[in-house]
Structure 1
Amino acid sequence: MSGSKVLSIILGGGQGSRLHPLTETRSKPAVPIAGKYRLVDIPISNCINSNIKQMYVLTQFNSASLNRHIKNTYHFSFFSEAFVDVLAAEQTPGNKGWFQGTADAVRQSMHHFLRHDFDYALILSGDQLYQMDLAKMVEAHKKNKASISIATIPVNAKDATSFGILKSDEKNRITSFIEKPSADLLPDWTSDVSDSMKAEGRNYLASMGIYIFNRDLLIKLMENPDTIDFGKEIIPQSIDEHPTLSYQYEGYWTDIGNIDSFFEANLGLSDDFPKFDLYSRQKRIYTHARMLPTTKISGTILDKTVIADGCIINAGKIEHSVIGVRSRIDKESTIINTYMMGSDYYQPLEDIINDNIVSMGIGSRCFIKNTILDKNCCIGNDVRINGGRHLEDTETDTYAIRDGIVVIKKGAVIPNGFTI
């Protein structure tokens, strides 16, 4: 990729209402995943691993914790041109409004981008889980003299109805595009995919929401204030006029759109061979470097469980769960199918042994299943939370239920003996 300069623009997403209540106090890219990372670490790490080191993260909701995370995490050499900057929606004399959509966010931030010398703009989503060599996509874009490239992934008929679906010719040039087609239209939208994808019934090319634009074309497309979204407007309007390349990707990729997919993606990390590989040397995921002690476990039966740094665990049994940084779980508690995000700090010992205070973490003799515990939760003793499809969607001050998954809100205090 030598000689071509790439500016990466990571879109932080809207209000993240489908990830509520995890987005109640933070923006979507700042949501903690895998017990020690945040969602935004994924696209940033993909860029760093692809030697793309000039990045902007665009956000507009609850951006304080995202700002703090990026400021504390991504430090490059004083002499390099590398940076990761957060751009929050800002009111200017020429613009009084919030970002109206993905393209509008890029348009409103354009004056910041144009201060940099770049040939290609790489536009990424801030809420996807994948590991991809983006430099290879840039190379393919250059080699095929494309004006726009779209990363595509083969999907099956069931999933195809919830994506933008593309058709490409034998040179991988995109010829047509349809947003979220109905099932009866699908037979006309199959594409040429590899034999392994055909064998899985994945015959439709879905847009991954990852785009490359030539600098001059992006500037030109941003001149029209009426187009506010890449997927719905810019891409469908551009494919007839500008050479648009489909760059096929066949690795693991998931769009973390709702609580269900978020829960599944996190618990998937506890599988024997997780689809998302946190143990790869080439594709490592970077995050805030915490100086935490080792995790201490006593008397616990563990099965298919991922445990982050700095935990103190005396539970009876933990299975198929992800336990985040600084988590504390007391004696005789059982944790199943649960993502515990952990804590931002340690409580003083006198608080933990004070019987009048429900301390941070999970108390004694609890049973917790099919649950997400947000950061800094305080769960008392003898608490029983049994998530599952038998529960109706609910919203309270301390917890919410979405698709049978119980989400205990950030900092919530759940008293002794409480049952859901």
Structure 2
Amino acid sequence: MIIKSTLAIILGGGQGSRLAPLTESRSKPAVPIAGKYRLVDIPISNCINSDIKRMFVLTQFNSASLNQHIKNTYHFSHFSQAFVDILAAEQTPENPTWFQGTADAVRQCMTHFLNHEFEYALILSGDQLYHMDFNEMIDAHQKNGADISIATLPVTAKEATEFGILKTDENNFISSFIEKPAADLLPDWTSEVSDEMKNEGRNYLASMGIYIFNRQLLIDLMKNPDTKDFGKEIIPQAIGNKKVLSYQYEGYWTDIGNIDSFFEANLGLTDEIPKFNLFDNSCKIYTRARVLPPSKITGESSFDKSIIAEGCIIDSSKIEHTVVGIRSRIGKNSYIRNTYLMGNDFYQNLDEISHNLQNNIINIGIGENCYINNTIVDKNCRIGNNVKLNGGKHLEDQNTELYTIKDGIIVVKKGVTIPDGFEV
């Protein structure tokens, strides 16, 4: 049975500098998405939906909030063997250094994995957005007698130059690999894909960074301390020497690698028919259960193509193409568009709000008469009245104490106070 034969290993990623400033105080898997989840909830939920309920999450940077989230979220029956455990990088007599790459992270944690029985190690990334039934991938791995299986995604020629591209034979075994090929090399790197993918011009197979390894092979590969990374070393060295299977996946998948992809993925959830479906009973996304009231809308508020999480208070404002996170407060006559508000971790009580108003202290949330566009507002921010944050390509990249601008997207840093009348 797959539930007993598979152990999931979720890689928490490195420092996450490309996702800064969202990763200044938290690891990449702990970054909030869709107003109420964390990135790590995606691979964990895919595992749970696939009846794989023994999971390790490997991390070393800013892991406190991730530890807290997992501790407060994933509770299983005392009578089951299910668990989601954090393995933070640790220095030992055998391993005096921090994780040096994805393969090195797995190598340093092997003693913990080998305390459990498993036939297959399912290795996942903690910063991707997708739905996948891993049972189908494991079935293909078993039926084909593979040593390693790699989930692959058909991509276009334009996209192919940004990925590791794999070439397959007639039996879907991988025969060669190239990292981010130049455009003039692409004609030699097409693979057999479905007719639907051909019609969309998606003729190249990109590695999704999702792997299955047979137990003994993983043990053997981890004995070589010189190999630090799966994508750059382990996989290329295995091709031609081991039976490496391509498992083609044709659904929605995106790598949350930078601010632009993160922003696009979140706002894409507001589409009429989103590519990533949050409203699917068979592919539920699990997260921390919070006891929050329903959101309250007062005055003549209007909404278009937006997601509103629970516990929000919105007063006579206009919201367009926006994700509004938990416990968000938005004041009168504010116009929020093309924006991701992550929300807040707590409420202020009425006495505190009244005291702040009397003493010209800005409360948590969005003030009155604000205009916010093409912006990410991190958690627990205090944005005053008459604030204008108008992101766009007209803005140059910069980093300040209050905000960062990347690719025209304004990112308001966690917990900062934006004074009345402030403009970007």
- For residues 404-415 of structure 1, the aligned pairs below 5 Å read 404-415=408-419
- 2-structure distance, mates of 1:5, 1:128: 24
Q: Does 1:385 align with 2:389?
A: yes
Q: What is residue 183 of structure 1 aligned with on the other side?
A: 183
- Give 1:231's aligned residue: 231
RMSD, matched Cα: 0.8
Q: CA deviation at 1:2?
A: 4.8
> CA 1:315–1:386 in structure 2 vs 1: closer, same or farther (change >3 Å)?
farther
Structure 1 residues 258, 3: CA separation in 2 closer, same or farther (over 3 Å shift)?
closer
Indicate the percent of aligned positions where both proteins have the same amino acid. Answer: 71
Q: Distance in 1 between matches of 2:136 and 2:250?
A: 13
Per-residue CA deviations over 1:214-273 (Å, capped at 9, x if unaligned) read 000000000000000000000000011110100000000000000000000000000000
Q: Aligned partners of 2:395, 2:353: CA distance in 1, in Å? A: 32
Counterpart of 1:266? 266
The amino acid that maps onto 2:409 is I
Matched residue type, 1:364: E
Q: Equivalents in 1 of 2:381, 2:3: separation in Å?
A: 49
Aligned residue type for 1:199:
N
Deviations 1:320-345 (A, max 9, x none): 00000000000000000000000000
The aligned runs of 1:54-93 (5 Å cut-off) are: 54-93=54-93
Between the aligned partners of 1:341 and 1:3, the Cα distance in structure 2 is 35
Q: Are the aligned partners of 1:47 and 1:53 in contact in 2 as well (CA < 8 Å)?
A: yes
| Shift of residue 4, structure 1, vs aligned partner | 5.3
1:345 and 2:312 correspond: no
Report what 2:52 is aligned to. 52
2:370 is the counterpart of 1:366: yes
Give the alignment of 1:129-278 within 5 angstroms.
Answer: 129-278=129-278
Paired residue type of 1:198: K
The answer to whether residue 310 in structure 2 is matched with residue 306 in structure 1 is: no
The answer for the alignment partner of 1:115 in structure 2 is 115
Contact 2:376–2:409 (CA under 8 A) maintained in structure 1: yes
Once residues 167 and 229 of structure 1 are traced to their aligned partners in structure 2, the CA distance between those partners, rounded to angstroms, is 20
Contact 2:3 2:52 in 1 (8 A): no
Decide whether the 8 Å contact of 1:351 with 1:357 is kept in 2: no
Instruction: Report the secondary structure of 1:136's partner residue.
Output: helix
Is the CA contact (8 Å cut-off) linking 1:324 and 1:341 kept in structure 2? yes
Contact preservation (8 Å) 2:402, 2:418: yes
**Conserved? CA contact 2:3–2:53, under 8 Å:** no
CA-CA distance at 1:179 after TM superposition: 1.0
> Is 2:317–2:330's contact at 8 Å kept on the other side of the alignment?
no
- Paired with 1:117 and 1:274, the residues of 2 have a C-alpha distance of 39
Q: Secondary structure at the match of 1:270?
A: coil
Q: Which residue of 2 aligns with 1:291?
A: 291
Name the structure 2 match of 1:281: 281
| Aligned-partner SS, 2:109 | helix
Cα deviation, residue 357, structure 1: 1.2
Measure, in 1, the Cα distance between the counterparts of 2:106 and 2:59.
Answer: 11
Name the amino acid aligned to 2:365.
G
Structure 1: segments with no counterpart, 5+ residues: none
* Over 4 Å off, 4+ runs: 1-4
Give the Cα separation in 2 of the matches to 1:286 and 1:357: 37
Query: Can you list the C-alpha shifts for 1:154-180, whole angstroms capped at 9, x where unaligned?
Result: 000111011110011111111111111
Contact 1:328–1:362 (8 Å) recurs in 2? yes
> Which amino acid counterpart does residue 185 of structure 1 have in structure 2?
L
How does the TM-score come out when normalised to structure 2?
Answer: 0.98
For 1:292 and 1:5, the matched residues in 2 are separated by 38
**Alpha-carbon offset, residue 117 of structure 1:** 0.4
Aligned length: 420
Contact 2:7-2:55 at 8 Å conserved across structures: yes
How far apart are residue 352 of structure 1 and its match? Answer: 2.2
Structure 1 residues 368-410: Cα deviation after superposition (integer angstroms, max 9, x where no partner): 0000000001000000000000001111111100000000000
**C-alpha deviation, 1:350, in angstroms:** 2.4
The residue aligned with 1:330 is 331
CA offset digits 1:199-220 (Å, max 9, x no partner): 1110000000000000000000
CA distance in structure 2 between the partners assigned to 1:352 and 1:404 by the alignment: 33
Q: Aligned residue for 2:106?
A: 106
1:4-53 CA distance string (max 9 Å, x none): 51000000000000000000000000000000000000000000000000
Query: How far off its partner does 1:3 sit?
Result: 7.5
SS of residue matched to 1:184: helix
CA contact (8 A) 2:325 2:343 kept: yes
Shift in CA distance, 295/172, structure 1 to aligned 2, threshold 3 Å = same
Taking structure 1 as reference, are residues 135 and 114 closer, same or farther at Cα in structure 2, changes over 3 Å only?
same
Distance in 1 between the 2:183 and 2:345 partners? Answer: 45
Measure, in 2, the Cα distance between the counterparts of 1:310 and 1:226: 50
Asked if the contact 2:2/2:135 (under 8 Å) is kept, the reply is no
Distance 1:231 1:359 in 2: 46
Aligned residue type for 1:290: R
Instruction: State how far apart, in whole Å, the 1-side matches of 2:226 and 2:121 are.
Output: 21
Equivalent residue number for residue 15 of structure 2: 15
CA distance in 2, matches of 1:239, 1:318: 51
Q: What is the DSSP-based 3-state SS (H/G/I as helix, E as strand, rest coil) of the residue aligned with 2:281? A: coil
Aligned mates of 2:204, 2:226 — CA distance in 1: 30
In the alignment, is the contact (CA less than 8 A) between 1:318 and 1:335 conserved in 2?
yes
Deviation (angstroms), 1:316:
2.3
What is the rounded CA distance, in whole Å, between the counterparts of 1:343 and 1:4 in structure 2? 39
Deviations 1:66-112 (A, max 9, x none): 00000000000001000000001000011111111000000011111
Structure 1 residues 105 and 315, CA gap change in structure 2 (3 angstroms): farther
Distance 2:3 2:367 in 1: 57
Partner Cα distance (2:4, 2:139) in 1? 9
TM-score (norm 1): 0.99
**Which residue type is aligned with residue 422 of structure 2?**
F
After TM superposition, the structure 1 stretch with the greater mean CA deviation from structure 2, 252-261 or 351-360, is: 351-360
Distance 1:73 1:231 in 2: 31
Tell me, yes or no, if the aligned pair for 1:35 and 1:342 is still in contact at 8 Å: yes
SS at match of 1:162: coil
